[in-house]
Structure 1
Amino acid sequence: MSKRDQYIATMKLQLDELDAKADRLEAKAAEVKEDARAKYKEEMAKLRQQSKLSKAKLDELKDAGEDKWEAMVAETEKVRDAFTHSFNYFKSQL
C-alpha cells in the first residue's frame, strides 16, 4: 500500500470513528430535557454538516493529482480537525 493510500485509509477511518461517536452523542442528546433538545438538535445538525464537508474533502483528496496532493492533505486535516473540535465541544456540553 502506498503512503498516499495508507493516508487516505487512515483519514477515512478517523472520520468514520467520529461519525460513530456522533451517532452515540446524538442518542444521548435525545435524552435531555425538552427545552434543551432544540439547541442540541441544532448543534447536531452543524456537526453532521461538518462530517459531510470532511468526507467531501477526503473525496477531493482521493481524486487529487500528485501536484496538488500536499496542499490537499493540509486542507483535509484542517477540516478534520475542525470536525473533531466541534465534536469535542458538543460532547462537553452534554
Structure 2
Amino acid sequence: MSEKNAYEQKLRAKLDELQAELDKMRAKARGAEADARIDQEKEVDRLEAKREEMREKLDELRNSSDDAWDDVKAGAERAWDSLSDSLEKARSRFK
C-alpha cells in the first residue's frame, strides 16, 4: 500500500469517527433546553461544514497525482488541525 493510500484511509477513518461524534452532539442538543439547543445545533452545523471541507480535501488527495499529493496532504493536515481545534472547543460546551 502506498503512503498516499494509507494516508487516505487514515483520514477516512478519522472522518467516520468525527461523524459519529457529531451525531452524538446533535442528539444531545435535541435534549437541551431551547436556548442551549439553538446554540448547540449551530455549533454542530459549523462542525459539519468543516467536516465537509475535510471530506473535499480527502477527495482532492484521492484525485491528486503522485507529484502533487504532498501539497494536497499539507492542505489536508491544516484543514484537519482546524477541524480538531473546533471540535475540542465544542466538546467543552457539550459537557
Kindly provide the CA deviation profile for residues 5-30 of structure 1, in whole angstroms up to 9, marking residues without a partner as x.
11110111011111111111111121
* Inter-partner Cα distance in structure 2 for 1:89 and 1:58: 23
Gaps of 5+ in 1: none
Kindly provide the CA deviation profile for residues 41-77 of structure 1, in whole angstroms up to 9, marking residues without a partner as x.
1111111100110000000010011221111111001
Per the normalisation by structure 1, the TM-score is 0.93
* Inter-partner Cα distance in structure 1 for 2:22 and 2:79: 16
Please give the root-mean-square deviation of Cα atoms over the aligned residues, in Å.
1.0
Q: Which residue of 1 aligns with 2:29?
A: 29
Aligned residues: 94
Q: Which runs of 4+ in 1 moved over 2 A?
A: none
Q: Which residue of 2 aligns with 1:19?
A: 19
Percentage of matched positions with identical amino acids: 31
Per the normalisation by structure 2, the TM-score is 0.92
2:92 maps to a residue whose letter is S
